[in-house]
Amino acid sequence: MLTNPSPISYQNLSMAMKRKPEEKEESKTTLMGPPKKRMTENKKDDILNPSRRVASYIEMLKKKREEIINV
């Protein structure tokens, strides 16, 4: 039985942080119609995503840890 989920959640998040999302170039115009208007942009989605927000905290803390270790 899993009693401590922290190692799994930490490792999962680390893996997700290593894998950066691929940026795809999408055509802004369709062949037969007017240009598409997207409701939300990907960047806005990223900010709304809680895991992204957690990842930004972890990146900041990791940088500080590296600074401490390297000094």
Partner 1 sequence: MFNAPIPGQSLTHELGARPWQQPAQYTTVEDALDYYIPRIDSDEVSEQLINVLEMGIPVTTIANTMQLGGVMEGKHSVDVGMLILPVLVELLMLIGDAAKVDYVSGLEKEERLDSSLIDLAVTQFNEQQDKNVNDEVEIKEVETPVEDRTGGLMSRSM
Binding site for partner 1 (CB under 8 A): 4-7, 9-11, 13-14, 50-51, 53-54, 57-58, 61-62, 64-65, 68-69
- Is residue 9 a contact partner of residue 16, using CB atoms and an 8 Å limit? no
Question: Nearer to partner 1 by C-beta: 32 or 69?
Answer: 69
Distance of closest approach, residue 45 Cβ to partner 1, in angstroms: 16
Pick from 69, 66, 61, 71: nearest CA to 13: 61
Report helix, strand or coil for 41: coil
**Rounded least distance, CB 20 to partner 1, Å:** 18
- 């899993």: which residue's tokens? 2
